[in-house]
């Protein structure tokens, strides 16, 4: 691929939790601004690729392992074990061929896009990814966290006999009440992530003969996952999270654009909300170095001001031009 790509990826979260911190609440900065990490965006993309049969290295996978006393434990694979599993490697310790190792790493679609830090069994490799995704900040001012109490169908027998009269039976000491759980969601949030693609990140590795570089096919797979993976990933906490917006600005090799999320604004409306793209002056002034602009959005809930030269607008779900 002989072009650069700059853009913005948008996620809406309605009564769900796109990216929780260790307390269970949506992630915030020290001054209370809600944001999502790049890892939160990449994870459903990796899951989608994995389900499509692609090799994905940096994703949690489990294995059964026999313990010392004969019991069987379910544990996560280490990075070494994950590598051996997806590349059918008997023992990474026996692989002294760095070229083969690099070739295998570039066969993993997540490494091909996002790079890798691989420090296993004497191999210390760091690959800067062609695709870089920043932090996604919420641009909806009405966001608030909602905490829901969830009643379990089971009692908690672990605190037997601790003397809590409200929960214990007087004779047996067993808990009489069901246990409680908590689900924390955002009422509504709209995250916007900046990203940039620099295919020259792999020029050195191309000279080693371990990869053909970042290709149009790689870009196509990234674009597809970046516009649909969050919608497809429906866990209990993510069921209200959807891909809402995507802006792809393809440029000539010698053009460099800034973080475009600073030019994106969100306004809540009664029937439809508005996503306002205010980088039109910047982009239109360098239009001779712009090869293509594509904007994906949800036309059923959102209005986009169409003010970019050369831009084509698409339904983010059907991919039909709007």
Is 193 a residue whose pLDDT tops 60? yes
State how far the Cα of 317 lies from the Cα of 322, in Å rounded to an integer.
Answer: 11
State how far the Cα of 209 lies from the Cα of 118, in Å rounded to an integer.
Answer: 19
Is 287 a residue whose pLDDT tops 60? yes
Mean pLDDT comparison of 94-103, 173-182, 216-225, highest-scoring range: 216-225
Q: Which two tokens stand for residue 252?
A: 């000539």
Q: Which two tokens stand for residue 204?
A: 């050195």
Convert the pLDDT of each residue in 91-122 to its tens digit. 888 888 889 999 999 999 999 999 999 988 77
Confidence at residue 236, expressed as pLDDT on a 0 to 100 scale = 65
Confidence at residue 29, expressed as pLDDT on a 0 to 100 scale = 96
**pLDDT: which is higher, 293 or 309:** 293
> 185 pairs with which residues across the strands?
146
> 72 pairs with which residues across the strands?
66
φ and ψ at residue 97, rounded to 5 degrees: -95, 100
Q: What's the distance, Cα to Cα, between the start and end of the chain in Å?
A: 27
Q: Which residues, other chains included, contact 213 with Cβ-Cβ below 8 Å and sequence gap of 6+? A: 1, 199, 202, 203, 205, 206
State how far the Cα of 172 lies from the Cα of 166, in Å rounded to an integer.
Answer: 13
Q: Which two tokens stand for residue 54?
A: 């692609």
How many other C-beta atoms lie within 10 A of the C-beta of residue 255? 16
Is 170 a residue whose pLDDT tops 70? no
Confidence at residue 206, expressed as pLDDT on a 0 to 100 scale = 97
Please state which of the ranges 106-120, 129-143, 226-240, 264-278 shows the lowest mean pLDDT. 226-240
Mean pLDDT of 42-57: 96
How many other C-beta atoms lie within 10 A of the C-beta of residue 124? 9
Question: Which of the four pLDDT bands, split at 50, 70 and 90, describes residue 309?
Answer: confident
User: How much is the mean pLDDT over the chain?
Assistant: 91
State how far the Cα of 316 lies from the Cα of 318, in Å rounded to an integer.
Answer: 6
Closest C-alpha to 261, from 133, 115, 113: 133
Burial 55-71 (b: 16+ CB within 10 A, else e): bbbbbeeeeeeeeeeee
**Helix ranges, 34-114 (H):** 38-51, 79-86, 98-107, 109-114
Convert the pLDDT of each residue in 50-84 to its tens digit. 999 999 999 999 999 987 777 899 999 999 999 99
How many other C-beta atoms lie within 10 A of the C-beta of residue 11? 25
Confidence at residue 77, expressed as pLDDT on a 0 to 100 scale = 94
Is 158 a residue whose pLDDT tops 70? no
Does residue 293 contact residue 310 with C-beta atoms inside 8 Å? yes
State how far the Cα of 168 lies from the Cα of 179, in Å rounded to an integer.
Answer: 12
Question: Which of the four pLDDT bands, split at 50, 70 and 90, describes residue 172?
Answer: very low
């Amino acid at each position: 691929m002989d072009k650069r790509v700059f853009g913005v990826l948008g996620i809406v979260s309605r009564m769900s939790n796109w990216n929780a911190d260790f307390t269970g609440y949506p992630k915030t900065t020290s001054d209370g601004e809600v944001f999502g990490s790049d890892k939160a965006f990449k994870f459903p993309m990796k899951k989608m690729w994995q389900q499509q049969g692609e090799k994905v290295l940096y994703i949690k996978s489990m294995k059964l392992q026999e313990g010392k006393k004969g019991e069987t434990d379910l544990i996560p694979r280490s990075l070494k074990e994950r590598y051996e599993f997806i590349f059918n490697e008997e023992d990474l310790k026996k692989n002294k061929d760095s070229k083969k190792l690099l070739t295998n790493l570039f066969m993993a679609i997540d490494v091909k896009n996002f790079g890798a830090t691989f420090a296993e069994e004497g191999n210390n490799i760091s690959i800067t990814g062609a695709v870089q995704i920043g932090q996604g900040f919420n641009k909806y001012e009405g966001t608030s966290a909602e905490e829901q109490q969830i009643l379990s169908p089971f009692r908690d027998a672990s605190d037997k006999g601790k003397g809590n009269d409200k929960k214990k039976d007087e004779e047996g000491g067993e808990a009489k009440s069901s246990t409680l759980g908590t689900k924390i969601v955002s009422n509504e949030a709209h995250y916007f992530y900046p990203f940039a693609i620099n295919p020259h990140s792999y020029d050195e590795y191309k000279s080693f003969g371990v990869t053909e570089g970042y290709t149009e096919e790689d870009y196509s797979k990234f674009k597809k996952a970046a516009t649909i993976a969050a919608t497809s990933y429906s866990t209990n906490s993510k069921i209200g999270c959807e891909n809402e917006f995507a802006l792809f600005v393809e440029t000539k090799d010698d053009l460099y654009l800034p973080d475009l999320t600073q030019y994106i604004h969100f306004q809540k409306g009664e029937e439809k909300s508005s996503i306002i793209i205010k980088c039109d002056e910047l982009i239109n002034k360098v239009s001779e170095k712009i090869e293509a602009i594509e904007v994906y959005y949800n036309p059923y809930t959102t209005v986009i001001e169409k003010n970019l030269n050369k831009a084509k607008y698409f339904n983010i779900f059907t991919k039909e031009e709007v």
